[in-house]
Chain A
Amino acid sequence: MIELAVNARGVGKTFPTKDGDVVALTEVELTVEAGEFVSLIGPSGCGKSTLLRLIADLDPASTGTLEIFGKPASQARVDQDYGIAFQQAGLLPWRTVAGNIALPLELHGMAKPARAARVAELAELVGLTEFVDRYPDQLSGGMQQRVAIARALAEQPRLLLMDEPFGALDEMTREYLQGELTRIAAETGAAVVFVTHSIPEAVFLSDRVVVMSPRPGRITEILSTGLDDIRDEALRESPEYFERVTAVREALHGIPVERANER
């Protein structure tokens, strides 16, 4: 049997607000296999971030069952089975690059020499070896995001959760980091759940693309890209790639775009 990184059965989330309940997510059925790369795509407000936060146990699910590597999400969080990166890098400005990458290791009581070695390894993995002594305000947006990814990978998680991590970056940096991410995912063997707005980004990165729709937030379609493991610049110009981009676009077609209440 293939081990499941994520197993969501009938998962829903309702936020009680002063104007009544907001149903952010209903009836989510989703499995992510170990080592698989899955993107969540859909218009603003369709519950992508909410789903990721439920998987990360940053918010509790209102209904259904959610298992991460066969355990409840809260246990997986305590066991550090996943690492997470957000659209904002969320680096601590008073810590250096090395200090930021080391944060989870420090919190879990890893001894100093082992920590230094691991930080060096991670800095190398994200290509920031020369910048470990810099402070976040001395880095470009793309470099900050790479630090955040290194931090997410610090505890060698088997699952990487990413909420529009490249959303605030320019197109060139974005494409470069997409390439880097596929390499890192392959090297670490981690499963990835990747939230994005961008159809080409979802297709380029993923084994499967999960298409979502708002009001209430739900999964409407799941497409396999069927692209092989080599993700390079040539892929971006290949006919298969364009075909998948079109397929995802058509799946998204007809989904109403939420204007009011955007987040």
Chain B
Amino acid sequence: MTTTSNAVRTPPVWVRVVAPITVGVVILVIWIVAVDVVKAAPRALPSPIAITNEFVLRSGIIVEDMGITASNALIGLVAGAIVAIVLAALAATSRPVDGMLAPLVAAIAVVPIVALTPILNTMFGASSQFGRQSVAAIAAFVPVFVNVLRGLRQTRPVHRDVLRSSAATGLQTFRVLTLPTALPYLMSGLRIASSIAVIAALVAEYFGGPADGIGTAIATYAKSGRASLAFAYVAGGIAIGLVFFLVTSLLEWLVSRRKPV
């Protein structure tokens, strides 16, 4: 009785792995049947088999473009995160700085950053990746800032008492308590920001800049009717997003393994 109700609440690991895979396979099978067997799909929707063929055939150039988009996203993520961490630390230590930054961050959070892309691309010139990287950086900044600022305020009173009673200096308290307490929050912020940075870097390519990257290729091939190739590039974009997500999730798990007692 107990075991069944437990099993209902948290399914065993293998179910959690097998269930989404099953869903994926079922969708894939329906897709193949619809396109290749029944031939009921619109022309813009190629079969997964055709997409895979294109991907294998053009893998050299696709991986090269993936590198461009991924590095833009990564540079943006790192730069945005560094600025966010510095500003969050300032806001956490000084009320006036907090008061100044709060409306600014709120403004950045509501502006659709991608809307700025054509302007940034024009500003930095058609041959520079800088516009795209800036878009990714601004997009990544917000979740990191919000999470780090929250994390820096999570120290527990009993921990602060322990450090004060040990005559710890302000800097020591920051190093042994405030920073480790904020670390899991930083990592959640990075995990959220990493997906956003990839999307921002990719979408930014739709609005000008150099003629490379996943986004540029998708736009080009979609317009010229080469749907299979466009989808092969979409698969490349998904792969980048997955890698960013998995790496940051792993980092988050590593720093938040130890449950508070």
A30 CB-CB contact with B under 8 Å: no
Residues A86 and B158 in contact, CB atoms below 8 Å apart? yes
Known: A104-B166, A137-B258, A137-B259. A92 touches B180 (CB 8 A): yes
Residues A84 and B261 in contact, CB atoms below 8 Å apart? no
Give A58 to B158 CA distance when docked, in angstroms.
11
Chain B residue numbers with a CB within 8 Å of A94 are 180, 258
Residues A77 and B165 in contact, CB atoms below 8 Å apart? yes
B168 CB-CB contact with A under 8 Å: yes
B88 → chain A closest CB, angstroms: 20
Chain B residue numbers with a CB within 8 Å of A248 are none
Give A57 to B260 CA distance when docked, in angstroms.
26
CB interface residues, B 225-261, toward A, < 8 Å: 258-261
Chain A residue numbers with a CB within 8 Å of B161 are 58, 84, 86, 90
Give A88 to B180 CA distance when docked, in angstroms.
19
Chain A residue numbers with a CB within 8 Å of B180 are 92, 94
Chain B residue numbers with a CB within 8 Å of A92 are 159, 176-177, 180
Residues B172 and A107 in contact, CB atoms below 8 Å apart? yes
Per-residue interface assignment for chain A, residues 151 to 165, with 1 indicating a CB less than 8 Å from any chain B CB and 0 otherwise: 100000000000000
Residues A88 and B166 in contact, CB atoms below 8 Å apart? no
Chain B residue numbers with a CB within 8 Å of A137 are 258-261
Partner of B258, one of A56, A106, A135: A135
Residues B261 and A136 in contact, CB atoms below 8 Å apart? yes
**Chain A residues bordering chain B, tally (CB within 8 A):** 28
**Chain B residues bordering chain A, tally (CB within 8 A):** 19
Residues A56 and B261 in contact, CB atoms below 8 Å apart? no
Give A212 to B167 CA distance when docked, in angstroms.
29
A40 CB-CB contact with B under 8 Å: no
A1 CB-CB contact with B under 8 Å: no
B39 CB-CB contact with A under 8 Å: no
Residues A103 and B166 in contact, CB atoms below 8 Å apart? yes
Residues A89 and B261 in contact, CB atoms below 8 Å apart? yes
Nearest to A80 among chain B residues (CB) is B167
CB interface residues, A 86-108, toward B, < 8 Å: 86, 88-94, 103-104, 106-108
Give A83 to B162 CA distance when docked, in angstroms.
9
B156 CB-CB contact with A under 8 Å: yes
Residues B260 and A93 in contact, CB atoms below 8 Å apart? yes
A129 → chain B closest CB, angstroms: 20
A161 → chain B closest CB, angstroms: 8
Residues A107 and B166 in contact, CB atoms below 8 Å apart? yes
Partner of A90, one of B158, B168, B176, B258: B158
B164 CB-CB contact with A under 8 Å: yes
Nearest to A74 among chain B residues (CB) is B167
Nearest to A100 among chain B residues (CB) is B162
Give A88 to B259 CA distance when docked, in angstroms.
15
B166 → chain A closest CB, angstroms: 4
B217 → chain A closest CB, angstroms: 44
A144 CB-CB contact with B under 8 Å: yes
Give A136 to B257 CA distance when docked, in angstroms.
12
Per-residue interface assignment for chain A, residues 112 to 153, with 1 indicating a CB less than 8 Å from any chain B CB and 0 otherwise: 000000000000000000000001110100001000000100
Give A180 to B143 CA distance when docked, in angstroms.
49
Give A139 to B172 CA distance when docked, in angstroms.
26
Give A92 to B167 CA distance when docked, in angstroms.
17
Nearest to B177 among chain A residues (CB) is A92
Nearest to A141 among chain B residues (CB) is B261
Kindly list the 8 A-B residue pairs having the minimum CB-CB distance in the complex, ordered from nearest: A90-B158, A93-B258, A104-B166, A136-B261, A137-B259, A88-B158, A84-B165, A90-B162
- Chain B positions within 8 Å of A, measured between CB atoms, are 156, 158-159, 161-168, 172, 176-177, 180, 258-261
- Chain A positions within 8 Å of B, measured between CB atoms, are 56-58, 77-78, 80, 82-84, 86, 88-94, 103-104, 106-108, 135-137, 139, 144, 151
A-B contacts besides A90-B161, A104-B166, 8 pairs, CB < 8 Å: A80-B167, A83-B165, A84-B165, A103-B162, A103-B166, A137-B258, A139-B261, A151-B162
